[in-house]
Structure 1
């Protein structure tokens, strides 16, 4: 785990080394000051020697200024190192997520990934800042103070032998019991983020069904769970402070008792005893700082493990050793394809699918909910890999292509259309980064979007809110179709992407496809028969299998499912009415 996490320090190694270096210099100054204070008391004050008082006084001022300077420098470099480390961690995780297949993303969930990129990284950042500063300062000061204490009085230093075991056992007890609780807390944070995310995305549904109270109660349950776990963990961590106070005051009492006897007996000077008290505080404060580091590590360890899970997750989809970079044409062949979404799935989503689609054909796909229509088309751009059999595009197995090259030639408009914050032009140029304004307009005309865009106050420069909330469902669908067309793909897949437009607009879009992009293979998943009626072939899906393939007339004669759907929509007040 440490090796994986340390890989993200790159670029900030210098700051990560300078922070502890200046900490060490600061500690040296701080531990030398009590020694000089002892000399000042014994030789200057007790000896009534003003020359030594001035000499030691000026040296002490200089050392205090150096300690301040070194402390400021260590703080600066620790802040730079920790902030830079967190930046790299977030970038490494985000880059990794971009390589994930849908299977990898499904494994973590979107809410969990958001928590790991935010809360978990912040925890690790805070722990790293403590490691490069406090975790160096505490043990170094502990060692230096112990050395000087032993130099002053070996006998009196034995007092520390009683404090260290008490603190060690106490800290071990706290760490072993708090860590599992923090692991549970961060998993609950995932649930909390998921509740908030669902609520915000579906806020219109929540309000239309007057379910605000239900959502508040659901949020409250998860929030209360976090509160209970955090309270339990904090109760354990609260033992840290009284344990430290007990050790500090116990040592001070013992040192006062035995130190006074040594001073009276002549075995220790007044200045040395004063210095010993200072070293005692430094030693015990070092132990307290170490306990704080341990507490932070307990919290950060759970977060670090979650971050490493993402960084070590291997994407399911890889480019082959010698990938094909060019897609010859838009032909598609399914050969006895089987597919399931995960190894844990109890049944195949697709089973025994064999199809041949010629380049340039228009293919319609119909089927009931859960018939695996979307699963079928997602195998074409290799959003998922087949479990068995093979899918070929342009005469080559999709697994032989470079993923980017394949997807660049397969434009897909998904069921859940997504627009991003920005202008209409910026959203359209996701399809082609360097598309001219004329190309944007042409694509929008094909998608029947140009008309409503020109009616907007700022036309193509109209700002789209996050998720496209300021445009209607049909407008959003047409913008997404135009964006896909700008890729100039060899294969265009519309996954129920015209469900929110009227039948006249739907017909205009299909007519534009026939006339303007005849060489592009067009696959249209639809619920309305009218949307696929004039396709070269129509595929009927049922329970993950191909039930029938043929033209509209052929299926009316041979497919009971198609006849039922057609009859319900033309005579029973279906989708067209």
Structure 2
């Protein structure tokens, strides 16, 4: 996938890349031409005292230098334009890929790792593309051209190139071979630091409530120290490359002056040719050093590219159908037919042989102890996961065959953990319907019992909401999420324990206002409190993934022992309170 993206990007920028190659070719040829002009000034102009020749050649050198500068700057611009565009496309593709992931794939990678892969890893690959665009053409041309021009000046010193270049290449190869596993470990340790930091930021209230700041500080210190230790080891290897390059370059310069000086003294070589030869040798080694920069970046970029490729090549377990079914109108008849759900790696299914039917205008409530599979059931209806057995249908069509956009466009989901996005009250509510008017927003807020506190907020609908809704209380956040689902006016409402943060009076008012608002829709309510679901048309009681009771509140009080225990336990808690 990553190589495919790069090839597509290169096809899109064929004109830019042709310009890049042309500009780098001009720049390299100009740099190779300059030493010959300098040698001509020394050997022909200064030795003969020909001032006109010196001025004429000097002006030519000035023009060639200006041409080189313009070409090099243009090549850098084109390379940067291509590399940044490639980075943009990779980040965009990663975002879309992760956006299609189900909870299974997100848990597989982990949120901190996905963030690192979408930012730091893409940046490493982008830098490699940039260096490749600016150096991969120039370095070979510089090296080959330098060898040819150096041999033109003097063949007797060619053995210096035969020695210097392989020595430098072998030394760099040995160092790079030890850097690759180090860079892979650096990225893994960076994931660890991000994971610890994210946990501490999101759980700061819990940390402070239990006075665990010293422990968390030690945990972050350990993760940070592990990253620092690996980074130092890799950086020491990187730091060794530059001294080796400079050592070979300086030793080569000394050798050229030493052996070339003897050849000048013997009359086998002119001074101008010696200076030109030394310049060409330095250019050859500079080309090797440019390749060194590339080689230095390749190990880390290859590790990052592999991590990005893992995400791009991961297929979501909730894959869209090859030939999706589209229906003209979704009525909202939901049916679970002998559904079984087992999470990857789990020993036992979380849901076993669950069957139920929900129709428009009716409310189905799901209740049970913690871990009985209530939220999983709601997730299957929304196709956040796919059932491992049986099937879930809407209007008789398996959700796995429906067009995903059609399915999700007719669902109004209020998650168990209410989440708001940074922006305003209005922008959050319009997630359900971008075209909703202010009147529709206020109507939804009134039903959700949120109109009162929103009116008191500075700006009303334009009041600021922090990321995650941290600037409003848990109950207010929950009511805003309910209002967001109501604004969409979907065919199917999924309330996943969405009333738990509300007091009994607010809960009762909300349910009373909700009934006429959702009278034409299918409503699923997952609840912990019995008082929230007493008016439901059908109550499904789950126990350890099995349906152990089904009926109205009054019917279950007579027939379902598990439901009787839940009612009795909550009544005892209310009396104790």
Specify if TM > 0.5. yes
Q: Cα distance 1:39–1:232, how it changes in 2: closer, same or farther (>3 A)? A: same
Say whether the 8 Å CA contact 1:12–1:84 is kept in structure 2: no
Query: Secondary structure at the residue paired with 1:194?
Result: helix
Q: Is 1:211–2:202 an aligned residue pair? A: no
Q: C-alpha distance in 2, partners of 1:543/1:21? A: 70
Q: C-alpha distance in 2, partners of 1:475/1:416? A: 13
Q: Deviations over 1:90-132 (max 9, x none)?
A: 1121122222222222222111111111111211121111111
Say whether the 8 Å CA contact 1:175–1:298 is kept in structure 2: yes
Question: CA offset at residue 4 of structure 1?
Answer: 4.1
Q: C-alpha distance in 1, partners of 2:75/2:386? A: 51
Q: C-alpha distance in 2, partners of 1:129/1:256? A: 36
Q: C-alpha distance in 1, partners of 2:520/2:287? A: 75
Question: CA offset at residue 13 of structure 1?
Answer: 4.3
Say whether the 8 Å CA contact 2:448–2:480 is kept in structure 1: yes
Note the residue ranges of structure 1 that are not aligned, 5 or more in a row. none
Q: C-alpha distance in 1, partners of 2:131/2:189? A: 26
Aligned residue in 2 for 1:47:
48
Query: Secondary structure at the residue paired with 2:534?
Result: coil
- Return 80-89 or 428-437, whichever deviates more: 80-89
Question: CA offset at residue 528 of structure 1?
Answer: 0.5
Query: Secondary structure at the residue paired with 2:348?
Result: coil
Q: C-alpha distance in 1, partners of 2:521/2:442? A: 19
Aligned residue in 2 for 1:98:
99
Aligned residue in 1 for 2:338:
336
Q: C-alpha distance in 2, partners of 1:286/1:520? A: 70
Query: Secondary structure at the residue paired with 1:158?
Result: helix
Aligned residue in 2 for 1:414:
415
Q: Deviations over 1:36-69 (max 9, x none)?
A: 1111111111122222111211111111111111
Q: C-alpha distance in 2, partners of 1:349/1:173? A: 53
Aligned residue in 2 for 1:245:
246
Q: Cα distance 1:289–1:337, how it changes in 2: closer, same or farther (>3 A)? A: same
- Return 381-390 or 232-241, whichever deviates more: 232-241
Q: Is 1:132–2:129 an aligned residue pair? A: no
Say whether the 8 Å CA contact 1:449–1:475 is kept in structure 2: yes
Say whether the 8 Å CA contact 1:419–1:467 is kept in structure 2: yes
Q: C-alpha distance in 2, partners of 1:171/1:129? A: 21
Q: C-alpha distance in 2, partners of 1:351/1:479? A: 34
Question: CA offset at residue 29 of structure 1?
Answer: 0.7
Say whether the 8 Å CA contact 1:421–1:466 is kept in structure 2: yes
Q: Is 1:569–2:556 an aligned residue pair? A: no
Q: C-alpha distance in 2, partners of 1:471/1:571? A: 32
Q: Cα distance 1:512–1:488, how it changes in 2: closer, same or farther (>3 A)? A: same
Q: C-alpha distance in 1, partners of 2:51/2:435? A: 81
Q: Cα distance 1:470–1:83, how it changes in 2: closer, same or farther (>3 A)? A: same
Q: C-alpha distance in 2, partners of 1:569/1:166? A: 80
Query: Secondary structure at the residue paired with 2:436?
Result: coil
Say whether the 8 Å CA contact 1:494–1:523 is kept in structure 2: yes
Aligned residue in 1 for 2:450:
449
Say whether the 8 Å CA contact 1:412–1:493 is kept in structure 2: yes
Q: C-alpha distance in 2, partners of 1:274/1:480? A: 76
Note the residue ranges of structure 2 that are not aligned, 5 or more in a row. none
Q: C-alpha distance in 1, partners of 2:58/2:572? A: 103
Q: Is 1:265–2:266 an aligned residue pair? A: yes
Q: Cα distance 1:221–1:388, how it changes in 2: closer, same or farther (>3 A)? A: same
Aligned residue in 2 for 1:115:
116
Q: C-alpha distance in 1, partners of 2:137/2:458? A: 61
Aligned residue in 1 for 2:71:
70
Say whether the 8 Å CA contact 2:330–2:410 is kept in structure 1: no
Q: C-alpha distance in 2, partners of 1:171/1:563? A: 75
Q: How does 1:63-462 map to 2 (within 5 A)?
A: 63-326=64-327, 327-342=329-344, 344-462=345-463
Question: CA offset at residue 429 of structure 1?
Answer: 0.8
Query: Secondary structure at the residue paired with 1:65?
Result: helix
Q: C-alpha distance in 1, partners of 2:221/2:522? A: 50
Q: C-alpha distance in 2, partners of 1:16/1:203? A: 50
Say whether the 8 Å CA contact 1:382–1:398 is kept in structure 2: yes
Say whether the 8 Å CA contact 2:469–2:477 is kept in structure 1: yes
Q: C-alpha distance in 1, partners of 2:12/2:220? A: 41
Say whether the 8 Å CA contact 2:6–2:86 is kept in structure 1: no
Q: Deviations over 1:470-510 (max 9, x none)?
A: 11111111111111011111111110111111111111222
Aligned residue in 2 for 1:481:
482
Q: C-alpha distance in 2, partners of 1:134/1:345? A: 51
Aligned residue in 2 for 1:554:
555
Q: C-alpha distance in 2, partners of 1:512/1:430? A: 22
Say whether the 8 Å CA contact 1:9–1:88 is kept in structure 2: no
Question: CA offset at residue 254 of structure 1?
Answer: 2.5
Q: C-alpha distance in 1, partners of 2:522/2:499? A: 17
Query: Secondary structure at the residue paired with 2:385?
Result: coil
Q: Cα distance 1:230–1:20, how it changes in 2: closer, same or farther (>3 A)? A: farther
